Amino acid sequence: MSSGSGSSRVPRRGFLAVGAALTAVVTLSACGAKTDAAGSSSDKAAKIDVSGDTVKVGLLNSLSGTMAISEVTVRDSLKLAIDEINASGGVLGKKIKPISEDGASDWPTFAEKAQKLIKEDGVAATFGCWTSASRKAVKPVFEKNKSLLFYPVQYEGLEQSPYIFYTGATTNQQIVPALDYLKSKGLKKLYLVGSDYVFPRTANKEIKAYAKANGMTILGEDYAPLGSTEFSTIANKVKASKADAVFNTLNGDSNVAFFKEYKSAGLTAKSMPVVSVSIAEEEVKSIGTQYLAGQLTAWNYYQTTTGAANAKFVKAYKAKYGQDKPTSDPMEAAYTSVYLWKAMVEKAKSFDPEKVKAASDGITFDAPEGTVTVDGATQHVYKTARIGEIGTDGQIKEVWNSGKPVKPDPFLKGYSWASGLS
Amino acid sequence: MNVLKGRSARAWAGFAGAAVVLFAIAPLALSDFRLGLLAKYLCTAMVAVGICLAWGRGGLLTLGQGVFFGLGGYAMAMHLKIADAGPGNLPDFMQLYGTATELPWWWKPFENPLFALAATVLLPMAVAALLGLFIFRRRVKGAYFAILSQALAAALAIWLVGQQATTGGTNGLTDIQGFFGYSLDDPVNQRLVYFVIAAALLLLMAIARQLINSRYGELLVAVRDSEERVRFLGYDPANVKLVAYVVAAGMAGLAGALFVPAVGIISPALIGIVPSIEFVIGAAVGGRASLVGAVLGAVAVAWAKTALSEEFPAAWTYFQGLLFIVALAFLPGGLASLAVLVRRRRKASPAQQTAAVPLGEAA
């Protein structure tokens, strides 16, 4: 405490001067655009770094947290596609340089990392996100910076951002065909079980609207928190309801507990089949085929899907990441999304997002799931719907498909029963 | 006397220095993106100021600050969403997920900007006051208080997720376009938001410093170190704790409110158990009993989270864990105690140190 009393005044004066300067700075900076200012956004597009012989793309996936188990496989699949493209000469003569960021299963972190990829790294496009919540968090970031996101996972529809390409299924390419399938089999009394977040709640709203218009009844609707493992009550309620089938929108670990309780309640795939929309090959492995054999899933791709493109994809994936690693629908959609972007860029002859978007309509790719086509109006993709039955070997066997790729209809405009939904 | 004057001079110099760094150096040295991140870190630092007061000084292990941060954040975001939608329209997510054709009754007051602004601070304070009255009067303390705080954070997060039609569910409130008429799209306005946050942080630090140095501050430390003795001296420890708890809640509420325009999102993921613990850890690493320590600790931990996760996308959580273990195992008083240790080494006259080492191990 040796500082004398004399020194106490100097800093105070200094502080006042600083304060005055700050007031000036703040006043000066207080003249930004108002919300209603029109046409102020022309020069805000993010700068894409195309210097040198590489072009950067962002990979935005959860590499830690509860979603990591699923999203890491998507990241691996994206890298496979990038490696393949680089090996065959890259895009517009430039090699793709992936920059991977961890969204950490935390939605605001996704938004932060998206900003970093766009503003600091100058990526030409970003691939990733899994949960709807993470997509909703990054959507304004991509829109404000006029940068592109390729989103590879099936989702609940009712969205169409001008800066997002949706390469997974929307509702009418997955959930509606699954309901059609149940109806055709005479399974008309349904019980809905889902995780408590946006996708299941919105999907169930759509399912209820469908049921009402198609003479089906919904006997019950239950939600469990994400990550919950307590399902004895729900399994008993399902059993007591005497439903024909269960529509399952549970995500992640909860499926393990749910199917165990389902079996111990005495319910089987014969007595009351479960249709799941979030269980793919990777999840089948972790839940166990003793609980899942005979149950149904709805996707657009299975590892068993026939065709040369898929044989090549499965072989390349296993060669790179291990023979025991299965391939799944979101992985396939992610892999496909990189090739679709490449085709759009080559058609546009530019990495500029606006030109890429303009070139997107009608772009096709011979994907592992079959030929997919980009619908420029919705920025979704024509996809074939497939219902599969889980086998004892952990593979999913297709039991029905839509025959041809289904036109994406994210707002379900072509379905009269859905008129009140959006 | 001399000691007090010296302290006050150093504090003024510190404030002036912090102001120069925050208002002049940082905006010049950092890109818009990094400045935006700094704004986010400063919000966690504002929560840490409250934690320093309630935990560091009052011994209340506030493991549920996410609740107050969330209340402030949602109060602000609700107003901004209503303003974005424009008069007569519902916020975008309500049109998507809801069935209602007009605003729910509990959203209506937030249409008024003044009500919303006041609510960002007063609502958390009111909740804390109500809760504190029950908790402290019943002499709930220590681990029980901490568990109660955690339970509340979990409960609020779960409730928000369940009310998708009116709260946006897990998505939270996102895509916020404007801030009281100013477009958040514009980098100039983003910068303004940063300045507001920096000014608010300094203001909260000044308030906390005033409280800590007052007679009340002495009493608070006394309650932390020996509640029974304070009771026998004729004070009611419940009231003393209540004030610290309520003030800390108000600070967390303001932080949450300013977080919304800075980051553009508020969601249940920001207010549950994990973020509540992260708030406390920042303060603990820096030194919970020292105002400067807690603030710098909060900023440093948040910064390290970004930096490590950018360098090592897959492994950064391990680094984060390691950082906490090292800090807490070898420096239980936080990084702030490092400065005191060094000073003590140099001076080697222990008699003078008692006033400068305010740290107790009470938790």
Residue B19, CA distances (Å) to A189, A380, B220 in order = 66, 49, 28
Chain A residues with CB-CB distance to B183 below 8 A: 32-35, 37, 40
Per-residue confidence (pLDDT) for residue A108, from 0 to 100: 87
Per-residue confidence (pLDDT) for residue A42, from 0 to 100: 39
Q: Which of A261, A254, A192 is nearest to A226 (CA)?
A: A254
Tokens standing for A203?
Answer: 């999907």
Cα B307 to Cα A49: distance, rounded to the nearest angstrom:
22
**Could you say which residues of chain B have pLDDT below 50?**
1, 350-363
What is the reported pTM? 0.85
φ/ψ (deg, to 5) at A382:
-70, 125
Per-residue confidence (pLDDT) for residue B349, from 0 to 100: 52
Per-residue confidence (pLDDT) for residue B355, from 0 to 100: 43
In this predicted model, which residue has the larger pLDDT, A51 or B358? A51
User: Among all residues of chain A, which has the CA nearest to that of B185?
Assistant: A144
Residue B275, CA distances (Å) to A108, A213, B64, B281 in order = 12, 44, 9, 10
What domains appear along chain A, each with residue ranges and CATH number? Answer: 54-169+312-382 (3.40.50.2300), 172-301+385-418 (3.40.50.2300)
At A230 the three-state DSSP class reads coil
- What residues 162-201 of chain B have any CB closer than 8 A to a CB of chain A? 162, 164, 169-172, 174-178, 181-183, 185-189, 191-192, 195, 199
Interface test with B, best of A102, A115, A212 (most B CBs within 10 A): A102
pLDDT at A383 over 50: yes
Average pLDDT in the A345-356 region? Answer: 96
Secondary element (H or E) of residue A114: helix A107-115
- In our burial notation (b when 16+ CB lie closer than 10 A, e otherwise), range A239-250 reads bebebbbbbbbb
Could you give the ipTM of this predicted complex? 0.82
Chain B residues with CB-CB distance to A131 below 8 A: 170
Inspect the interface and report whether the beta carbons of A33 and B316 lie closer than 8 Å.
Answer: no
Contact assessment for residue A154 and residue A174, using Cβ atoms and an 8 Å cutoff: yes
Q: Which of A211, A152, A200 is nearest to A176 (CA)?
A: A211
pLDDT bin (cut points 50, 70, 90) of residue A47 is: confident
Tokens standing for B44?
Answer: 């966690």
Tokens standing for A381?
Answer: 């993709």
B122-176 per-position pLDDT tens digit: 999 999 999 999 999 988 878 899 999 999 999 999 899 888 888 988 889 998 9
Contacts of B317 by beta carbon, 8 Å cutoff, 6+ apart: A64, A104
A145-178 per-position pLDDT tens digit: 999 999 999 999 989 999 999 999 999 999 999 9
**Cα distance from B186 to chain A (closest Cα, Å)?**
6
Give the residue numbers spanning the domain of B185.
30-270
Chain A residues with CB-CB distance to B32 below 8 A: 119
A290-312 per-position pLDDT tens digit: 999 999 999 999 999 999 999 99
- Overall domain count for chain B: 1
Contact assessment for residue A373 and residue A363, using Cβ atoms and an 8 Å cutoff: yes
Inspect the interface and report whether the beta carbons of A196 and B189 lie closer than 8 Å.
Answer: no
Tokens standing for B35?
Answer: 């400045």
Per-residue confidence (pLDDT) for residue A419, from 0 to 100: 82
Inspect the interface and report whether the beta carbons of A33 and B9 lie closer than 8 Å.
Answer: no
Alpha helices in A122-197 (DSSP H): 132-145, 175-184
B301 within some domain: no
Per-residue confidence (pLDDT) for residue A13, from 0 to 100: 47
Q: What angle do CA B63, B67, B71 make, to 5 degrees?
A: 155
Q: Which of B192, B191, B179 is nearest to B33 (CA)?
A: B191
Contacts of B85 by beta carbon, 8 Å cutoff, 6+ apart: B91, B92
In this predicted model, which residue has the larger pLDDT, B5 or A322? A322
Average pLDDT in the A92-112 region? Answer: 92
B180 within some domain: yes
Cα A56 to Cα B36: distance, rounded to the nearest angstrom:
23
B321 within some domain: no
